[in-house]
A and B are shown apart, each in its own frame.
Chain A
Amino acid sequence: MRVIAWLVEGTWPACVDAVRTHAPADSEVVLLHVSGPDVPGVAHGAFAGLLGRGGPRRDPGTRLEDLGSTSAAELLDAAAERLGRPYVRMERAGRVEREVVAAADDADLLVLARDGDRARLGPHSLGPAVRFAVDHAPCPVLLVWPEAAPGISTLPPPPPPHH
Chain B
Amino acid sequence: MWAVVRPFGWPEAVLAVPAAGIAVATGAISLDHARAEAERLGPVVGFLAAVLVLAHFCDVEGLFRTCGAWMAEWAKGSPSRLLTAVFALASAITAVLSLDATIVLLTPVVFATASRMGVRPKPHVYACTHLSNTASLLLPVSNLTNLLAFAASGLSFTRFAGLMVLPWLVAIGAEYLVFRKFFARDLAAAAPSPTSGDTPELPVFALATVACTLAGFVLTSAVGIDPAWAAFAGALVMAGRALLRRQATPLTVVRAAAPSFLAFVLALGIVVRAVVDNGLSDALGHVLPGGTGIAALLGIAALAAVLANLINNLPAVLVLLPLTAQAGPGAVLAVLLGVNIGPNLTYAGSLATLLWRRIVHQHEHDVDIKEFTKLGLLAVPSALVPAVVALWVSLQVL
Chain A residues with a Cβ under 8 A of chain B: 8-13, 37-56, 58, 60-61, 63-65, 67-68, 70-71, 74-75, 78, 115-119, 127, 146
Interface pair B365/A37, CB less than 8 Å apart: yes
Shortest C-beta distance, B159 to chain A (Å), equals 28
User: Bound complex: CA of A65 vs CA of B107, how far in Å?
Assistant: 12
Interface pair B312/A51, CB less than 8 Å apart: yes
User: Bound complex: CA of A41 vs CA of B107, how far in Å?
Assistant: 12
Interface pair B103/A68, CB less than 8 Å apart: no
Interface residues on B, range: 35 or more
> What residues on B are CB-neighbors of A115 within 8 Å?
185, 189
> What residues on B are CB-neighbors of A118 within 8 Å?
188
Interface window among B3-11, B24-32, B293-301: B3-11
Interface pair B103/A50, CB less than 8 Å apart: yes
User: Bound complex: CA of A8 vs CA of B372, how far in Å?
Assistant: 21
User: Bound complex: CA of A75 vs CA of B118, how far in Å?
Assistant: 8
Q: Please pick, from B6, B10, B111, B189, the residue contacting A10 in the complex, using a CB distance under 8 A.
A: B189
1/0 per position for B14-27, CB-CB distance to A under 8 A? 00100000000000
Interface pair A78/B194, CB less than 8 Å apart: yes
List CB contacts (< 8 Å) of B271-300 with chain A: none
Interface pair A10/B115, CB less than 8 Å apart: no
> What residues on A are CB-neighbors of B315 within 8 Å?
51
Interface pair A41/B367, CB less than 8 Å apart: yes
User: Bound complex: CA of A68 vs CA of B107, how far in Å?
Assistant: 13
Shortest C-beta distance, A97 to chain B (Å), equals 11
Interface window among B236-244, B245-253, B347-355: B347-355
> What residues on B are CB-neighbors of A49 within 8 Å?
312, 343, 346-350, 353
Interface pair B118/A46, CB less than 8 Å apart: no
**Given A42-B129, A42-B367, A64-B125, A52 and B185 touching (CB < 8 A)?**
no
> What residues on B are CB-neighbors of A78 within 8 Å?
194
Interface pair A52/B189, CB less than 8 Å apart: no
User: Bound complex: CA of A42 vs CA of B183, how far in Å?
Assistant: 15
Shortest C-beta distance, B389 to chain A (Å), equals 26
Interface pair B371/A10, CB less than 8 Å apart: no
Q: Please pick, from B11, B120, B129, the residue contacting A52 in the complex, using a CB distance under 8 A.
A: B11
Interface pair B115/A71, CB less than 8 Å apart: yes
| Top-7 shortest CB links A-B | A49-B349, A10-B189, A71-B115, A52-B264, A41-B367, A45-B347, A46-B129
**Given A65-B365, A117-B185, A52 and B13 touching (CB < 8 A)?**
yes
User: Bound complex: CA of A50 vs CA of B353, how far in Å?
Assistant: 10
List CB contacts (< 8 Å) of B223-276 with chain A: 258, 260-261, 264-265, 268
B177 touches A (CB below 8 Å): no
User: Bound complex: CA of A52 vs CA of B189, how far in Å?
Assistant: 38
Q: Please pick, from A38, A70, A74, A116, the residue contacting B367 in the complex, using a CB distance under 8 A.
A: A38
> What residues on B are CB-neighbors of A46 within 8 Å?
103, 107, 128-129, 132, 347-349
**Given A52-B16, A54-B258, A10 and B99 touching (CB < 8 A)?**
no
Q: Please pick, from B116, B264, B367, the residue contacting A37 in the complex, using a CB distance under 8 A.
A: B367
Interface pair B16/A39, CB less than 8 Å apart: no
Interface pair B103/A47, CB less than 8 Å apart: yes
> What residues on B are CB-neighbors of A68 within 8 Å?
111, 115, 121
Shortest C-beta distance, B1 to chain A (Å), equals 13
**Given A75-B118, A118-B188, A119-B188, A38 and B104 touching (CB < 8 A)?**
no
> What residues on B are CB-neighbors of A65 within 8 Å?
365
User: Bound complex: CA of A49 vs CA of B145, how far in Å?
Assistant: 13
